[in-house]
């Protein structure tokens, strides 16, 4: 048994990209006969190794396309690693993309219900939380209206409230510190910090290096899918800034 | 909540999936409810449409074929409930199968953001079609009484037909969803195959009018057995042979198992293709 909250060992992830032509049965048949492979394999992640222990906050940094979001998806169990092993001890609350899975035809209330249940809660426990979530997001008056009538700010507030209402052991956060107007940004950031301080471990992706400096206990620097550096926050950030 | 994930763990796929689906029964219930309410929210007739739709389809078929066939089939069966039974069961199959396949291929966006086993969506879509079918049965009861026939005391056995149909549609949908994800043109091919299947199922014609060769082909279509049994148990029309029963139950189980196995093998490859 391992004592790590998260353990990632030799993880690779390959995406398969097919050019428009290859995505029809006809083209697939022709390319099979001609013995050419139209699929292009892209190594989005190569040889990733790290562990996260109790109380640690790991920040993942790197340029666009470095594989940060892909790594979060693997940790959230959405993508299976091509090679290697991922182990997570404890419950995981993935906050990958706010509002994913929302249905514009349903009311705010029904969306809260559906999303909460999608994350594995029971309908009953969600029903008792709907009012609380709506109130926190400041949407009590609109909660029975269909989502398509919401402004984008209201949508963001609802999405944030739904994503953060439950406590879990491991938090996986993709750049969602602070959404909505100025007032709600302060509120949501405070909520986020509260969740991080109460969780067992946190993994966060951020382009805002000062946030990383404030929150992270260690940093993983990804470069084109490779693990460029892993270490204490200050050390990695210094090297990253120089590069 | 996802807990204790180990990507290298080797567990028993079927028992793990069954446990998972049971745990997610709240989600399935909610998805079914959403399916039904979104589908009918914007129509004035609301849920009534569920019953009206197969009735109108049958009316068209009845209108066309009564002019050609005699109003009663050779063995004295009334044509109207005969057609409606066929339309209802075929709609259950078509709708359930396509909706379930598309719930996965069309839901890839969500499936890449929230961890849910995709099979949940297929199960929920098939269940909503089953509920539509059950609502349609009310229309069938009405039509059966209108033409002066009665409901069979075996009618509760329709549950068995529904269960087998669920297995068949879920199994087929899981295989097809992979096809839909990988190949853009596969939807057209599936649509043509479904059309062929429609004519190879005795929905609006009795099997007796077919030549021996064609009758053999129609009998090899498992849906013919489903339909024979459904008509027999529901209103005691036609016959259901032992072959029909064996064929219905075994086709459902076999297709479901193959579908689950194929899906398991192919999903990891398909989800990184988008």
Torsion from C-alpha of A68, A73, A79, A85, nearest 10 degrees: 70
For B227-247, how does the pLDDT look when each residue is reduced to its tens digit (9 = 90+)?
A: 999 999 998 888 889 999 999
Give A241 to chain B, closest Cα distance, Å.
31
Query: What does the mean pLDDT of chain B come to?
Result: 87
Alpha carbons B28 and B22: distance in angstroms, whole number: 9
Which residues in B35-64 are b (16+ Cβ under 10 Å) and which e?
A: bbeebbeeeeeeeeebbebbbebbbebbee
Of the candidates B49, B47, B40, B78, the one whose C-alpha atom is nearest the C-alpha of residue B62 is B78
Does B41 reach chain A within 8 Å, measured CB to CB?
Answer: yes
In A, residues 118-177, which contact B (CB 8 Å cutoff)? 118-123, 166, 168-169
Residue A1: per-residue pLDDT: 47
Facing A78 at nearest CB: one of B23, B38, B115: B115
Supply the DSSP symbol for B104.
Answer: H
In B, residues 105-124, which contact A (CB 8 Å cutoff)? 109-116
Give B132 to chain A, closest Cα distance, Å.
20
**Domains of chain A, with CATH numbers?**
6-242 (3.40.50.300)
Q: Give yes or no for a contact between A193 and A178, defined as CB atoms under 8 angstroms apart.
A: no
Q: Give yes or no for a contact between B96 and B129, defined as CB atoms under 8 angstroms apart.
A: yes
Does A33 reach chain B within 8 Å, measured CB to CB?
Answer: no
Only one residue has tokens 């382009």, namely: A207
Alpha carbons B130 and B115: distance in angstroms, whole number: 26
Residue A178: per-residue pLDDT: 62
Of the candidates A104, A112, A116, the one whose C-alpha atom is nearest the C-alpha of residue A146 is A104
Give A100 to chain B, closest Cα distance, Å.
6
Subunit contact B29:A166, Cβ cutoff 8 A: no
Subunit contact B2:A100, Cβ cutoff 8 A: no
Q: Give yes or no for a contact between A119 and B23, defined as CB atoms under 8 angstroms apart.
A: no
Say yes or no to pLDDT of A227 above 80. yes
- Chain A interface mutation, best of B4, B6, B7, B270, highest count of A Cβ atoms under 10 Å: B7
Of the candidates A227, A174, A164, A237, the one whose C-alpha atom is nearest the C-alpha of residue A205 is A174
Q: Are strands A83-95 and B2-6 parallel, antiparallel or unpaired?
A: antiparallel
Does A97 reach chain B within 8 Å, measured CB to CB?
Answer: yes
Say yes or no to pLDDT of A101 above 80. no
Question: Of A111 and B2, which is predicted with more confidence?
Answer: A111
Alpha carbons A200 and A53: distance in angstroms, whole number: 8
Give B82 to chain A, closest Cα distance, Å.
38
Question: Of B77 and A161, which is predicted with more confidence?
Answer: A161
Subunit contact A85:B23, Cβ cutoff 8 A: no
Give A18 to chain B, closest Cα distance, Å.
8
For B107-160, how does the pLDDT look when each residue is reduced to its tens digit (9 = 90+)?
A: 777 788 888 899 999 999 999 999 989 988 988 898 888 888 889 999 999 999
**Environment class of A92 (CB within 10 Å of its CB; exposed 0-12, middle 13-18, buried 19+):** buried
Supply the DSSP symbol for A166.
Answer: S
Subunit contact B183:A24, Cβ cutoff 8 A: yes
Subunit contact B6:A86, Cβ cutoff 8 A: yes
Does A23 reach chain B within 8 Å, measured CB to CB?
Answer: yes
For B160-176, how does the pLDDT look when each residue is reduced to its tens digit (9 = 90+)?
A: 999 999 999 999 999 99
**Environment class of B227 (CB within 10 Å of its CB; exposed 0-12, middle 13-18, buried 19+):** buried
Q: Give yes or no for a contact between A166 and A119, defined as CB atoms under 8 angstroms apart.
A: yes
Does B183 reach chain A within 8 Å, measured CB to CB?
Answer: yes
CA B136 remoteness from chain centre: 13
Q: What is the mean pLDDT of residues B80-104?
A: 92
Give B88 to chain A, closest Cα distance, Å.
28
Within 8 A by CB and 6+ apart from B173, the residues are B96, B97, B98, B100, B101, B103, B104, B122, B125, B126, B259
A5-14, A88-97, B210-219, B252-261: least confident range: A88-97
Alpha carbons A126 and B74: distance in angstroms, whole number: 58
Does A101 reach chain B within 8 Å, measured CB to CB?
Answer: yes
Residue B255: per-residue pLDDT: 97
Residue B88: per-residue pLDDT: 92
Residue B44: per-residue pLDDT: 63
Q: In degrees rounded to 5, what are phi and psi of residue B12?
A: -75, 115
What's the longest Cα–Cα distance across chain A? 62
Alpha carbons B128 and A113: distance in angstroms, whole number: 19
Of the candidates B218, B198, B235, B239, the one whose C-alpha atom is nearest the C-alpha of residue B80 is B235
Q: Where is A59: in which H helix or E strand? A: strand A57-61
Query: Which residues on B lie below 8 Å from A225 (Cβ)?
Result: none
Of the candidates A195, A111, A196, A125, the one whose C-alpha atom is nearest the C-alpha of residue A154 is A111
Contacts for B102-108: CB closer than 8 Å, 24+ residues apart: B102/B177, B102/B180, B103/B173, B103/B177, B104/B173, B104/B174, B104/B177, B104/B180, B104/B181, B105/B177, B105/B180, B105/B181, B108/B181, B108/B271, B108/B274
Say yes or no to pLDDT of A209 above 80. yes
**Environment class of A64 (CB within 10 Å of its CB; exposed 0-12, middle 13-18, buried 19+):** exposed
Q: What is the mean pLDDT of residues B174-186?
A: 90
Residue B56: per-residue pLDDT: 81
pLDDT class of A176 with cuts at 50, 70, 90 = low
CB atoms within 10 A of CB A61: 24
Q: Give yes or no for a contact between A45 and A71, defined as CB atoms under 8 angstroms apart.
A: yes
A58-62, B60-64, B100-104: least confident range: B60-64
Question: Of A88 and B272, which is predicted with more confidence?
Answer: A88
CB atoms within 10 A of CB A187: 20
Alpha carbons A220 and A241: distance in angstroms, whole number: 14
Query: Which residues on A lie below 8 Å from B105 (Cβ)?
Result: none
pLDDT class of A177 with cuts at 50, 70, 90 = low
Residue B206: per-residue pLDDT: 83
Of the candidates A230, A206, A185, the one whose C-alpha atom is nearest the C-alpha of residue A48 is A230
């Amino acid at each position: 048994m391992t004592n790590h909250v998260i353990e990632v060992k030799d993880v690779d992830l390959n995406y398969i990209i097919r050019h428009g032509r290859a995505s029809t049965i006809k083209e697939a048949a022709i390319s099979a006969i001609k013995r050419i492979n139209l699929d292009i394999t892209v190594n989005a992640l190569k040889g990733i190794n790290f562990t996260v222990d109790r109380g640690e906050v790991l920040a993942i940094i790197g340029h666009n396309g470095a594989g940060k979001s892909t790594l979060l998806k693997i940790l959230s169990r959405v993508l299976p690693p091509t090679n290697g092993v991922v182990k997570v001890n404890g419950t995981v609350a993935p906050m990958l993309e706010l509002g994913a899975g929302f249905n514009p035809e349903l009311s705010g209330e029904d969306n809260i219900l559906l999303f909460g249940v999608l994350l594995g809660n029971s309908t009953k426990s969600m029903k008792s939380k709907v009012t609380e979530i709506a109130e926190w997001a400041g949407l009590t008056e609109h909660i029975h209206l269909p989502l398509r009538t919401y402004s984008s700010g209201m949508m963001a507030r609802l999405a944030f409230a739904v994503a953060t209402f439950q406590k879990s052991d491991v938090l996986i956060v993709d750049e969602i510190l602070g959404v909505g107007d100025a007032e709600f940004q302060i509120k949501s950031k405070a909520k986020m910090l509260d969740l991080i301080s109460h969780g067992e471990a946190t993994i966060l992706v951020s382009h805002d290096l000062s946030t990383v400096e404030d929150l992270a206990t260690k940093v993983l620097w990804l470069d084109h899918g490779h693990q460029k550096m892993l270490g204490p926050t200050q050390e990695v950030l210094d090297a990253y800034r120089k590069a | 909540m996802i807990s204790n994930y180990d990507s290298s763990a080797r567990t028993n796929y079927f028992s793990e999936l069954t446990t998972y689906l049971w745990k997610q029964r709240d989600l399935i219930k909610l998805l079914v409810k959403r399916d039904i309410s979104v589908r009918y929210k914007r129509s004035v007739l609301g849920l009534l449409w569920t019953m009206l739709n197969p009735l109108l389809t049958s009316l068209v078929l009845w209108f066309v074929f009564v002019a050609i066939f005699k109003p009663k089939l050779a063995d004295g069966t009334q044509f109207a409930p005969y057609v409606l039974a066929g339309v209802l069961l075929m709609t259950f199959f078509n709708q359930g199968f396509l909706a379930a396949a598309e719930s996965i291929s069309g839901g890839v966006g969500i499936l890449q953001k929230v961890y849910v086993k995709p099979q949940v969506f297929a199960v929920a879509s098939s269940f909503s079609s089953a509920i539509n079918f059950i609502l349609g049965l009310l229309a069938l009861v009405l039509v059966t009484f209108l033409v002066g026939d009665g409901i069979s005391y075996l009618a509760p056995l329709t549950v068995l037909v529904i269960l087998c149909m669920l297995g068949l549609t879920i199994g087929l949908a899981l295989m097809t969803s992979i096809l839909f994800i990988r190949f853009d043109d596969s939807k057209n091919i599936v649509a043509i195959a479904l059309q062929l299947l429609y004519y190879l199922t005795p929905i609006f014609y009795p099997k007796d009018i077919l030549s021996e060769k064609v009758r053999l082909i129609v009998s090899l279509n498992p849906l013919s057995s489903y339909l024979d049994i459904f008509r027999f148990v529901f209103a005691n029309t036609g016959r259901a042979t032992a072959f029909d029963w064996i064929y219905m139950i075994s086709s459902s189980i076999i297709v479901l198992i193959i579908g689950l196995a194929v899906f398991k093998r192919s999903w990891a490859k398909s989800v990184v293709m988008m």
